[in-house]
Amino acid sequence: MTGEETATPRVPRTFGLKDVFTCINLLGGLGAIILCVEGRVDLAPYSFLLGYGLGDAVDGLVARLTRTGNRFGAEFDNISDHLAQCIAPAIIVYSQYRPLSPWLAVALAAMLVIAGSVRHARAATVSFSFPGAFLGMPRTISSFLVISFTSSRLIFHVPGGRWLGVVLVVLVAVANLLPLPFRTHKSGQKRFEKWEAAGFFSTTALALIFLTPYTFDVVFMWILIYSMFSWGALEPYELRAFFARAAWWRRQLRQAR
């Protein structure tokens, strides 16, 4: 028998290098929660940001480069994102608003957790896919919006800024669940997306190093621009197709048992 005949194909590991980066994302969210519990809500957003930048933004790329993507990795990423991008932001918002009103803080945190959890459960029940668009505001965007706003120096701490934050949290919770299109990184506008991603990561990194107190003002600017102009990625005929697909998805969701 030849070596080729006796050799058995190597079975890829369930847990691989890609999942190490998913762990970084998970620990970033956990670190943010612990810092809030310890009364260091001023540091919690940085734990979230590092978890995303060194973990969630990298694990998919590592999976593609090493060709180790699998169902375990996808599920592990979903679970990690739920803690880091749903539970942790709610705890940060609670910690920021508790000095103003404990009841208001609980209500805002509850809205974020319920909306994010319902969104997750609906996607697990009936998957939705459309070229170039998410259905509703994705968790990454909603988490960055509320965390960057409540951690900003130029907006949140000015007179009336906290009440603007209340409106923002309500809008984010609603946008999580509404069947609205939000552009994905695979929308087809490759040149624009590369410059957009480069601008976001480079300016955020520079602010983190040289203008640390204003890091989240920079982040908020980028995420707000994305949220406001995301619809522009789809042509009118694509929007019609998107809403038709969303209507089909809602029917499937109602019929799911």
Report the pLDDT value the prediction gives residue 211, as an integer from 0 to 100. 93
DSSP characters for 31-92? HHHHHHHTT-TTTHHHHHHHHIIIIIHHHHHHHHHHT---HHHHHHHHHHHHIIIIIHHHHH
Query: Which domains can be identified in the chain, with CATH numbers?
Result: 12-255 (1.20.120.1760)
Report the pLDDT value the prediction gives residue 188, as an integer from 0 to 100. 54
Cα(169)–Cα(63) distance, integer angstroms: 33
Overall average pLDDT of the 225-245 stretch: 87
Nearest Cα to Cα of residue 145 among 215, 220, 232, 65: 220
Overall average pLDDT of the 227-244 stretch: 87
pTM of the model: 0.91
Nearest Cα to Cα of residue 111 among 190, 28, 204, 177: 177
Residue 202: pLDDT over 90? yes
φ, ψ of residue 182 in degrees (nearest 5): -125, 125
Report the pLDDT value the prediction gives residue 5, as an integer from 0 to 100. 52
Question: What confidence tens digit (pLDDT) does each residue in 59-76 have?
Answer: 999 999 998 989 999 999
Identify the three-state secondary structure at position 111: helix
Residue 217: pLDDT over 70? yes
Report the pLDDT value the prediction gives residue 248, as an integer from 0 to 100. 96
Residue 190: pLDDT over 80? no
Tokens encoding 213: 């107190």
**55 within 8 A of 28, measured Cβ to Cβ:** yes
Q: What percent of the chain has pLDDT over 90?
A: 77
